[in-house]
């Protein structure tokens, strides 16, 4: 029983972090119909930066996101303006290939500059835990979870309560309608891409503490995040939250009762089973464009 509670608690903590990481991906997809395969590489890039900051200055890795978040915001904005805006209007598959290429370039650059060895930031609280009754919650997980929730909260506020957010949501639902009322498509798209990239600022910082990483780790991450997005329904933020929770639980439960080796696989199986019964994912709406 303790095992079960422990596994569920851990699963939810990890799920919160996954939710943050997937939110950027699903936001970008929702607004632009772009599957940003480079999102995983962005995460690793931030993790690498964070590790370097922590290593050089001793600053807390999670706090370092104060630096990395605006950096990634700018990075995303420039990437959109320079690369993705050039292929607006061509088929969605081209954006997949472009961001895939971008991911490889980031991986290659990191390989050359940082070397392909495993790294992990280990702040002082790295091996400490909070004890709640019989279960123990690693401090790093808890801090990561709290940071993720804070960012998701800010994201939610921005999307629902500010003009910018409303513009982004308008562009998600009806781009030409949004353009008619003065919401420029390119500007909004660049903004959404920048915000989506900025979420990796915190996501990557947390990653650097919780998981060992090296440049090619981005494949694992992007396939997990994409899995979350497909499971929850492409472009749906609540879907991403639920999908992330399911991934977290699937991993910890499999690790507790089976073997760590199979944990990602179990998640993929869950996805396939869900798609078998709900091809559009848990929260995915059938799009108008899907009809004849």
Partner 1 sequence: MRHGMSRLRALPRAHLIAGICLVLLLLYPVVNPWQPYPQGVMLLAFLLAIQASSWNIISGYAGYISLGHSMFLGLGSYTVGVLAVHFGVNPLWVAPLGGITAVIIAILIGSVVLRTRGHAFVIITIAMLLAAQIFAVNLKGITQGSDGITLELPFWDRDFQNIPFYYVFLILMVLTVLFSAWIRRTKFGTGLVAIREDEGKAASIGVNTTRFKIVAYAASSFFIGMAGGVYAYYLTFINPVGSFAILGSVTIVLATLTGGRGTLYGPVLGAFIVQLVSEGATVYGGGSNARVLVFGLALMLVVLFLPKGILPTIEEWWRRRHPENVEYTDQAGALSRAPVTATVTVTERVRAEIAAVNEKDEVAPGEILLDVRGVSKRFGGLTAVDDAGLTVRKGSITALIGPNGSGKTTLFNLISGGMAADSGEIWFDGRRIDGMRPWRRGHLGLGRTYQVTRLFKEMTVQENVVAPLPDSRWRTMFSDAVRGHEAARARELLDIVGLGRFANQPAGALSYGQQKLVELAQVLMLEPKLILLDEPAGGVNPSLLGQLTEVIRELNRSGVTFLIVEHNIPLVLDLCDPVVVFSHGAPIAEGPPDRIRTDPLVLDAYLGDDWRPTEDGDEDGAGDRADETTREAVQ
Write out the residues near partner 1 by the rule CB under 8 A.
29, 33, 35, 37, 83, 86-87, 90-94, 96-98, 100-109, 111-112, 116, 219-220, 222-223, 226-227, 229-230, 234, 259, 261-262, 264-265, 268, 271-272, 275-276, 279-281, 287, 290-292
The sign of the torsion formed by the CA atoms of 136, 54, 198, 165 equals positive
Report the distance separating Cα 235 and Cα 223, nearest Å: 16
Please say which residue, 66 or 272, places its beta carbon nearer to partner 1.
272
Please say which residue, 1 or 276, places its beta carbon nearer to partner 1.
276
- Element containing residue 260 per DSSP (H, E): none
Report the distance separating Cα 14 and Cα 137, nearest Å: 11
What are the Cα distances from residue 91, in Å, to 95, 168, 292?
Answer: 7, 21, 18
Minimum distance from residue 270 beta carbon to partner 1 (Å): 11
Please say which residue, 101 or 184, places its beta carbon nearer to partner 1.
101
End-to-end CA distance of the chain: 52
Given a contact cutoff of 8 angstroms between Cβ atoms, the answer to whether 118 and 237 are in contact is no
Minimum distance from residue 15 beta carbon to partner 1 (Å): 18
Q: Phi and psi dihedrals of 131, rounded to 5?
A: -110, 125
* CB neighbour list of residue 201: distance below 8 Å, 6 or more residues apart: 46, 65, 68, 69, 70, 71, 72, 73
Please say which residue, 146 or 272, places its beta carbon nearer to partner 1.
272
Please say which residue, 17 or 222, places its beta carbon nearer to partner 1.
222
Identify the three-state secondary structure at position 137. Answer: strand
Strand partners, 289: none
Minimum distance from residue 90 beta carbon to partner 1 (Å): 6
Given a contact cutoff of 8 angstroms between Cβ atoms, the answer to whether 224 and 14 are in contact is no
Please say which residue, 124 or 259, places its beta carbon nearer to partner 1.
259
Strand partners, 213: 119
Minimum distance from residue 268 beta carbon to partner 1 (Å): 5
Minimum distance from residue 217 beta carbon to partner 1 (Å): 12
Minimum distance from residue 68 beta carbon to partner 1 (Å): 22
């Amino acid at each position: 029983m303790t095992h079960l509670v422990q596994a569920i608690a851990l699963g939810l903590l990890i799920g919160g972090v996954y939710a943050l990481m997937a939110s950027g991906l699903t936001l970008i997809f929702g607004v632009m119909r772009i599957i940003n395969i480079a999102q995983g590489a962005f995460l690793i890039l931030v993790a690498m930066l964070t590790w370097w900051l922590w290593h050089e200055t001793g600053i807390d890795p999670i706090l370092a996101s104060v630096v990395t978040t605006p950096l990634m915001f700018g990075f995303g904005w420039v990437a959109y303006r320079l690369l993705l805006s050039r292929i607006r209007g061509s088929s969605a598959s081209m954006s997949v290939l472009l961001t895939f290429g971008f991911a490889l370039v980031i991986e290659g650059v990191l390989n050359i500059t940082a070397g392909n060895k495993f790294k992990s930031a280990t702040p002082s609280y790295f091996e400490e835990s909070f004890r709640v009754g019989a279960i123990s919650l690693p401090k790093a997980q808890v801090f990561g979870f709290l940071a993720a929730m804070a960012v998701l909260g800010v994201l939610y506020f921005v999307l629902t309560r500010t003009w910018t957010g409303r513009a982004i949501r308008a562009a998600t639902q009806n781009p030409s309608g949004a353009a008619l009322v003065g919401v420029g498509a390119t500007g909004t798209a660049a903004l959404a891409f920048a915000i989506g990239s900025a979420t990796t600022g915190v996501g990557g910082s947390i990653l650097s503490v919780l998981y060992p990483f090296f440049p090619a780790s981005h494949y694992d991450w992007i396939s997990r995040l994409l899995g979350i997005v497909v499971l929850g329904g492409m472009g749906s933020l609540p879907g991403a939250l639920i999908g992330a929770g399911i991934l977290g639980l699937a991993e910890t439960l499999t690790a507790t009762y089976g073997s760590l080796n199979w944990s990602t696989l179990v998640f993929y199986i869950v996805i396939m089973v869900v798609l078998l019964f709900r091809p559009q994912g848990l929260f995915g709406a059938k799009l108008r464009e899907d009809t004849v």
